Structure 1
Amino acid sequence: MLRSVVEYYAEHSGYRCGYCKSPDTNFSHGMWAHAMSVTDYQDLIDRGWRRSGKYCYKPTMDVTCCPMYTIRCRALEFKATKSQKKILKRFNKFLMGQDPGQEPGDAGRKMSCSSGTDEEQLGEGQEQFVNSNKEHHTIDVNAVLSNSKMIEQTVNENNISVSANSGESSQLSVPNNTRDLAHHKEAKKDLGPDPTKPPCKKAKQLRLERKLEKLKEKGIDVSNLPKISKNKEKQVEDFINELPDEVKRKLEIRLVRTSPASQEWLATSKETHEVYVKYQTIIHGDKPDKCTEPKFKEFLVQSPLLEEHRESGPACGYGSFHQQYWLDGKLIAVGVIDILPKCVSSVYFFYDPHYMNLTLGTYGALREIEFTRELHRSCPEIKYYYMGFYIYSCRKMRYKGNFYPSDLLCPETYKWFSIKDCIPKLEASKYSRLDPDIDSTDDNYPTESDLNYIPVWTSGVQGSSGVMLYKAYRRKNHKRADDSDEVMEYARLVGTKSAKSLILFR
């Protein structure tokens, strides 16, 4: 059985906030994950934890300057907004060789025009990683896991994505004054539509005609087909699949496993790092020494998640992956994701700034929602798309609420509530208990007796080492200062279920 091994950090002093930029008002708890099963990590993010590399952190919600609420989108019910549909259409036009509105390479475009997904990632992921560079022990994980078999029967085990005449001189004179302008407008109005040209057709009608033509070519009698309802709302998949067979630009999205490193990842690691450096230095203004290959790998490649395959799971398995966006054989963007038992969790997204005008951050999020729905078809348990943290007190971070419908996690009862119901509470107070039921409690809150059944890995305790339950550890370690307060703090943060599943290094 796959087991998780973690090292808890009790200290959690204030450090720089990636959102309001305050130097010492960001507080969180942290632990280093030497190994982590996907089931355990699913349970942890459902209690407000997130990972950055192998470092896992949980914001101290009632103390930190910018409270970070875990947000998830109900992918199966997702409905794209008008602006999100425009992004999908613009990208399709780009692939078909049409002008999407602005040529790629306009690096001078303001950040407000790029996607919010990219704006937030530095504060949410990399800032946490930079400030959590604590020393951790080197542990032989295999030895820990082999020694854990002796206590498995006593520990609770977990059950278990321009005009028509462009280029020609106008026949109407350019007005020189206001009176001429009025006459000019009226003259133009009187002209009406050009009777020599057919009426313009909407893009929707043109797409339908193309589809019918393809069916006719295949010998299908289209006269007997049911009429398409005009009220049917297009889904993300419809926009992605509506491209004609022949396009001028080819987009390919490859899913490659990063931990353990797959051959596909190793073959493309240099190109991936090059895109990352461009993104961090141009979009976020980082210095090159912050974007070295080792730091990049620690942040976005190395993962504690153990590779796992199940008969009822997705064909690619569970764990950590990169979704690579290849345009005509060139890598232009990368989405870092975790595939977990109930969701696809977005870790980070970066892209080549040369393609900033395509709003790749939002486009990537929409493709990841579509990917979650695709995984659901083979693995019904996967229903959600986790977008990290929602920070209402930071205006530019509110965009995640535009992925409808979404829920926020209550920081006190760890139950989910529609973001629409939470907004009034967050408007009144930065930190808020989102659960309206005053009698509701945390169902996963540990008791004193639960401490006895926390598995711990010890090294050199009175000449012995191995995995044992905490009650046995305390008996053998009675001469040392009692650390039960620290262990109880850890258990409350991870919850009873995880506390009895994770192996705690002491």
Structure 2
Amino acid sequence: MLRSIVEYYAEHEQYRCGYCKSPDTNYSHGMWAHAMTVSDYQDLIDRGWRRSGKYCYKPTMDVTCCPMYTIRCRALEFKLTKSQKKVVKRVNKILASQDASASAGDGNRKMSTCSSGSEVLAEGFEEGGEQFIETMRDHQDLNFDIIKNSELLDCSAGEQAGDSITQKDLAKKNEPKPNSSQEKVVKKELQEQEPITNKPSRKKAKQYRRERRLEKLKEKGINEVPPYTPRFKEKHLEDFLNELPDDVKHKLEIKLVRTAPPSPEWLATSKQSHEVYVKYQTTIHDDKPDKCTEPKFHDFLVHSPLLEEHTEDGPESGYGSFHQQYWLDGKIIAIGVIDILPKCVSSVYFFYDPQYMNMTLGTYGALREIEFTKQLHSVCPKIEYYYMGYYIHTCRKMRYKGNFFPSDLLCPETYKWFPLGDCIPKLEVTPYSRLNPDVDGTDDNYPEESDINYIPMWVNGVIMLYRHYKRHTNAKDTEDLIEYARLVGTKSLKSLILVR
């Protein structure tokens, strides 16, 4: 039987915030996961935890400067926005072009200000022998600049139109104005001169057409108007992704490779993957090369505590940690780091070759991961959600995650999910908010103080319950264990083996 083994860190120090850049206002709880089952990790992320490599962390929501709310997209109900459709069409167009890299290169010059919006995700690594959180970044290409530019164009067009109208108005300023009595006489004369038409209003015209249609149907012996059926079938995400011309010039493949434990496919491509990572970090995030070394890359995005698991009713790939490699004409151009869990696909990170920036690969990758979630659902019905990490309303650049509709946020007090649209008004008022509108709602997984007696402990290679452990050791760490139990919940505290 697979079991999770973790070390909890009771220290609650101040860290630098990667969002507001404050040096000491970021607070979070942490634990190191030596091994973890996918079901245990699913339970933890449903209580606000996330992993970075093997380090798991949970923001202290009511204290930290930029509260981070766990966000998930309901993949089965996902609706494409207009801008997301454009992203898919742009990629398909590039694939159909003669030279994909040249097309992307043109976009780099034209859209350099629009495609460099990757965000900081979280912090969490080991340096100098101590566990602490280190700045990490989320993935996404923002098109805010495109929107702003289009708004500016609209505004400038409006100003030009306004100038011409103003000149006409100025030309008419000196014309004599009739008094009010003269205006009434003129209006009355004009009304009398206007021909009376029997053209029905738009609403009446629609009713008229309906009546005419009903009359024709009655002539055929049909007394009811059949319900309206749309001419065109609504297109879904899969339709847009597969909408490629027959003469496509370039081949884009997405390969799923397991990283923990490392599969032969991953080992064969690890160098190429690291090269793409270095290009991304140094170009998009201005990182120094010494921050992008191969060991740090592995600690961040390759190593994982999740145990490989296969079940009869699970996905063919099994559960665990993977890389989705985007291959264009035999070359890796992007990688999505994901976890496949019992109820979801969880996005860890996404990076790409900046040479292909014009393909808006951050957004395209998220759409592909939503499609992948739906594919897994067809095999494993319990997988329904796409977890996108954290939603930070105080950081405008992180609000893009709300564009993946419909999405839910996790209440930091009751750990229940609520539609993002219902949460936004509360977050506009205060950065930290209890999202559950039910004032009597409680955490169903909240432990009692006596529950700590059933925490399994790893002591010198022996597993025992805490109630037995404290008899032999006279342990006095009850307060720390109560805090740990509250953070992981009743279910997890009885499942996770705590190292002592």
TM interval, short-chain normalised: 0.7 to 0.9
CA distances 1:33-89 after superposition (whole Å, capped 9, x unpaired): 000000000000000000000000000000101000000000000001000000000
Question: Where in structure 2 are the equivalents of 1:346-361 lying within 5 Å?
Answer: 346-361=347-362
Q: Return the offset for 1:246.
A: 3.4
Q: Distance in 2 between matches of 1:350 and 1:84?
A: 18
Deviation at 1:134, TM superposition (A): 2.8
Task: For residue 27 of structure 1, give the secondary structure of its aligned residue in structure 2.
Answer: strand
What TM-score results when the alignment is normalised by the length of structure 2? 0.78
Within 2, Cα distance between the matches of 1:437 and 1:495?
20
d(CA) in 1 for partners of 2:371, 2:125:
29
* 1:316-338 deviation digits (Å, cap 9, x = unpaired): 00000000000000110000000
Q: Aligned-pair distance for 1:232?
A: 2.9
Change (3 A) 1:266 1:233: same
Residue type of the alignment partner of 2:481? V
Indicate conservation of the 8 Å contact 2:72/2:408, yes or no.
yes
For 2:14, what is the secondary structure of its paired residue?
coil
Distance 2:232 2:409 in 1: 31
Displacement after TM superposition at 1:370 (Å): 0.2
Aligned pairs for 1:199-278 (under 5 A) are: 229-278=230-279
With over 3 angstroms needed to count, the CA separation of the structure-2 counterparts of 1:309 and 1:264, relative to structure 1, is: same
SS at match of 1:269: helix
The ranges of structure 1 where at least 4 consecutive aligned residues each deviate by more than 4 angstroms after the TM superposition are 98-102, 106-112, 130-133
Contact 1:67 1:430 in 2 (8 A): yes
CA distance in 2, matches of 1:48, 1:132: 28
Equivalent residues of 1:15, 1:131 under 8 A apart: no
Q: Give unpaired runs (5+ residues) of structure 1.
A: 137-177, 183-227, 460-464
Q: Is 1:457 aligned to residue 458 of structure 2?
A: yes
Aligned residue in 1 for 2:468 = 472
Deviation at 1:473, TM superposition (A): 0.5
Helix, strand or coil: the match of 1:475? helix
- 2:121 corresponds, among 99, 104, 124, to 124
What SS does the aligned partner of 2:121 have? helix
Amino acid at match of 2:121: E
Cα distance in 1 for partners of 2:124, 2:109 equals: 29
Change (3 A) 1:14 1:291: same
- Say which is worse superposed, 284-293 or 237-246, in terms of deviation: 237-246
Is 2:20 the counterpart of 1:20? Answer: yes
CA contact (8 A) 1:372 1:385 kept: yes
Please name the residue that 2:74 is paired with. Answer: 74
Matched, 1:43 2:37: no
Residues in 2 aligned to 1:327 and 1:374: alpha-carbon distance in whole angstroms: 22
**Partner letter of residue 339 of structure 2?**
D
The Cα of 1:466 is off from its aligned counterpart by 0.4
Q: Which residue of 2 aligns with 1:428?
A: 429
Q: How far 1:5 moved relative to its partner?
A: 0.2
**Residue type at the aligned position of 1:325:** Y
Offset of 1:107 from its aligned partner?
A: 4.7
Q: Is the 8 A contact 2:101 2:355 kept in 1?
A: no
Tell me the SS of whatever aligns to 1:374: helix
Measure the CA separation in 1 of the matches of 2:232 and 2:126. 50
**Secondary structure in 1 matching 2:470:** helix
Calculate the TM-score normalised by the size of structure 1.
0.77
Contact preservation (8 Å) 1:115, 1:359:
no
Change (3 A) 1:134 1:111: farther
Taking a change above 3 Å as real, the CA distance of residues 315 and 101 of structure 1, as seen in their structure-2 partners, is closer
User: Could you say if the C-alpha distance between residues 353 and 476 of structure 1 is closer, same or farther in structure 2, counting changes exceeding 3 Å?
Assistant: same
The 8 Å contact of residues 300 and 336 in structure 1, kept in 2 or not, is answered as yes
Secondary structure at the aligned position of 1:129 is classed as: strand
Deviation at 1:114, TM superposition (A): 1.8
3-state DSSP of counterpart to 2:67: coil
2:493 paired residue among 499, 503, 506: 499
**What RMSD over aligned residues (CA atoms) do the two structures have, in Å?**
2.2
| Match in the other structure for 2:10 | 10
**Is contact 1:52-1:300 (8 Å) kept?**
yes
**CA distance in 1: counterparts of 2:13 and 2:98, whole angstroms:** 53
The 1:254/1:100 distance shift into structure 2, 3 A limit, reads closer
2:5 aligned partner, one-letter code: V
Distance 1:389 1:283 in 2: 20
Contact 2:125 2:131 in 1 (8 A): no
Q: What is the aligned residue count?
A: 406
Whole-angstrom distance in 1 between the partners of 2:129 and 2:374: 36
Q: How big is the shift at 1:111?
A: 6.1
Q: CA deviation at 1:130?
A: 6.5
Counterpart amino acid of 2:480?
A: E
Percent same amino acid at aligned positions?
73
